[in-house]
Amino acid sequence: MKILVIPTRLQAVVGCLALVSGTASFDAIAQEREKEYEEHEIDEIIVKGAPLDRTIKELAQPTAMVAGDALERKQASSLGETLAHELGVTATYFGPVSSRPVIRGQYGERVLVLSNGLDSLDASALSEDHAVSVDDILAERVEIVRGPATLLYGSGAAGGLVNVVDDRIVEEPLDSPFSGALSLGNDSATGKESGAAQVAFGSESVAMHLDYFRRNTSNVEIPGFAESALLRSMEEEEHEHEEEEHEHEEHEEEEAYGVVENTDSKTEGGSAALTLTSDNGYLGFSASQYNSKYGIPGHHHHEEEEHEEEEDEHEEHEEESVRVDLDQTRYELRGGYEFADGGDLVLRLAKNDYRHVELEGDEIGTQFDSDGLDTRLEYRHRRIDNMEGAFGVQYKSMDFVAVGDEAFVPPSVTKQTSLFGFEEWTLGRSWILQASARMERQTIDAPDLPSYAGNAFGGSLGLIWSMSDDFSVSLNYALTERHPNSTELYADGPHIAASRIERGSVVLGGGILDKELSSNLDLTFRGENEHVEWTVTGFVNSIDDYILLSPTASFEDEMQVFEYGQTDATLYGFEAEARVELYDSDPTHIHARIFTDFVYGEDDRTGNYLPRIPPMRYGIGLHYTSGGFEAAVEAEYNESQDKTAPNELPTGSYTLLSAELSYAFANPDVFLFLRGTNLSDEDARRHASPLKDIVPLPGRSLQLGLRYFF
């Protein structure tokens, strides 16, 4: 679990604090401290998002996890920024609060965000300026599945999923009658001040959990101009053709330098949970609240006033910053029962009441309301000879309404009913075969528009070959279908946050889109010996009828027009990392980490590159551990991306240099860390972000975090 609390005087002392907290159970963390230097031990933790109790190494599909002290150090103001440097993962970036994970170049609806195995049920996939309502500040761990996760969690997860796991509802009796945690954090570049607190108390049969967190950020500090050099050069050429020089001078005055305006935020949330436990199972209920008010950078509303000629010119065009006021109430019910024959029945249910308002100055511009329900019932049958598995049913509904000038997607009701199954066969001592399948029925109803109804099928086959205790090969093949969503079908109007006009297939006269058919192959090699541990994964994803939002050469109201259509596409790439033990003598350890990832995306029909595909990146880090003290330095190089889609600007290369120091005290259980990011103060821009040319990443930053378990 995690918690953050940050007094302003900490900022005066250190100048920055960035907290990260994520742990499973308070006592478990203390026990884990002695071996925390061995980061690869995380591979042995059970993956909660898996249908069976399996570790990362026991799953054929590429899976990763961030937990413990590593999650504490990496934690940022949004889920996307926390995970942005994991293998195969980057993020959109609309400022520190609104940033969503991008997996293998896929984003939006194709990357599913889960909370304890259930959909986040927010509006973050609809528009990238909408913040993810699942906050990892109180997380025990964050699990990442790279590649299609459609077979167990829905057809939308064609690119992968992120599962944020907390311990609000416990599955076993508490280890102690009372425990808790406090944490504080601060970040100099974003002005983040954060704090959290949580307690768990009860008896062997009853457990209560309470938590609260609060986080504020200021406008993000950057090393130079908010606009990229390429965009400024293009604008300069355009202004050279202007006849009146004062228009050029006004443009110069408007250029932001050293800070990204309208990126400040205030976020808070909390929860209460009650769990009943017994020898055979548990039943728990939690209620949580999440509230966030934040600005959308680069998103301005230009209101043209109708005044007489004698009015001042500056009143004719009033520019107002747009801010989001987000409120969400979420209820979760989770229970499990173990039968005498060894089978387990697990029920999960989440109900969301989500609302966010886009404020244009003091006026309400657009309001988004979403009532969501996600429920899963699955049965994990007992082991029969060499076979073990699970099957179940899932129902999900989303009632979405947007009202206002920028409601570019009409109201709609989306419902999904699914059957799924997973089976695993152990074939001797060296072979494991895993298979899964899903059938999903989806309907979308929108007033006065053609409705959608269809079935999507999928299946996968995975094979794990352990050639020895030190080397294994995993192969996973998935053939899946993906339904179109309401945005791809019905979008029609200005998507101001992304500075574009979007039009769906129905509006364009193309009718209902076909389902995507994706053929995905992953091949993973794992090896380790006394001094080296390494993993290499290669993947190929061929997609028929790939639904694509493509920029056109048309402009309306000074915004570029984007249209949804279908094509065939291919994505391929690799992810690799190695940990090399340089010195190993208790209590001192020194190891190096080398890593790289790459993804390539192409439109098979036109030969054009797919939009917003992240460039190749690679890096190296050095990590020192001695007792409770740890120190690390890491450099990550992101190549330039000039393999761009039509009407898309290239992105320059950059290097991110980071360093950190931390110390873990045994008694009391206190973890303290200091981390520096982008120490070379580079102008860094993510190609996966629609706002990359007007919103760079933060400049040089110092972060301080403190966490205390009791």
pLDDT in tens, 360-419: 887 888 899 999 999 999 999 999 999 999 999 999 999 999 988 778 899 999 999 999
> Please, which pLDDT band fits residue 245 given cuts at 50, 70 and 90?
low
Give the model's pLDDT for residue 310.
40
Give the model's pLDDT for residue 36.
44
What is the value of pTM for the model shown? 0.89
Say yes or no to pLDDT of 5 above 90. no
Percent of the chain with pLDDT over 90: 70
Cα–Cα distance for residue pair 357/372, rounded to 1 Å: 17
> Please, which pLDDT band fits residue 494 given cuts at 50, 70 and 90?
confident
SS3 599: strand
- List the domain boundaries for the chain: 8-248+282-709
For the segment 513-527, the average pLDDT, to the nearest whole number, is 96
- Amino acid identity at 614: P
427: left (phi over 0), alpha (psi -120 to 50) or beta: beta
Q: Are 219 and 230 in contact (CB under 8 A)?
A: no
For the segment 646-653, the average pLDDT, to the nearest whole number, is 93
Distance of CA 436 to the CA centre of its chain: 25
Q: Are 113 and 89 in contact (CB under 8 A)?
A: no
CB atoms within 10 A of CB 351: 17
Give the model's pLDDT for residue 49.
81
Cα–Cα distance for residue pair 518/481, rounded to 1 Å: 6
Which residues are registered as beta bridge partners of 461?
435, 477
Q: What is the mean pLDDT of the chain?
A: 88
Spatial CB neighbours of 368, under 8 Å, sequence gap ≥ 6 = 123, 126, 130, 354, 355, 356, 357, 358, 400, 401, 402, 407
pLDDT in tens, 191-223: 999 999 999 999 999 999 999 999 999 999 999
Supply 152's token pair: 């167990």
Q: What is the DSSP letter of 647?
A: T
pLDDT in tens, 259-309: 999 999 999 999 999 999 999 999 999 999 999 999 988 754 444 333 434
| Kind plus residue range of the DSSP H or E element containing 267 | strand 265-277
Give the model's pLDDT for residue 254.
60
Which among 422, 350, 349, 348 has a CA at the least distance from the CA of 380? 422
For the segment 357-361, the average pLDDT, to the nearest whole number, is 85
Give the model's pLDDT for residue 360.
82
Was domain 8-248+282-709 assigned CATH 3.40.1160.10? no
Task: Say which residue the tokens 């077979």 belong to.
Answer: 151
For the segment 418-428, the average pLDDT, to the nearest whole number, is 95
Give the model's pLDDT for residue 186.
94
Dmax over Cα atoms in the chain, in whole Å? 89
pLDDT in tens, 563-612: 999 999 999 999 999 999 999 988 999 999 999 999 999 999 999 999 99
Supply 576's token pair: 């690799």
Give the model's pLDDT for residue 241.
67
Say yes or no to pLDDT of 130 above 60. yes
For the segment 487-500, the average pLDDT, to the nearest whole number, is 86
Tell me the CA distances in angstroms from 530 to 569, 586, 630, one per residue in order: 42, 15, 21
For the segment 124-137, the average pLDDT, to the nearest whole number, is 86
Picking from 78-92, 300-314, 403-417, 528-542, which range would have the lowest pLDDT averaged per residue? 300-314
pLDDT in tens, 454-478: 999 999 999 999 999 899 999 999 9
| Kind of pairing between the strands at 559-585 and 500-503 | parallel
| Kind of pairing between the strands at 111-115 and 101-103 | unpaired
Give the model's pLDDT for residue 244.
55
pLDDT in tens, 10-42: 333 333 323 223 333 333 333 344 444 445 567
> Please, which pLDDT band fits residue 149 given cuts at 50, 70 and 90?
confident
| Kind plus residue range of the DSSP H or E element containing 232 | helix 229-240
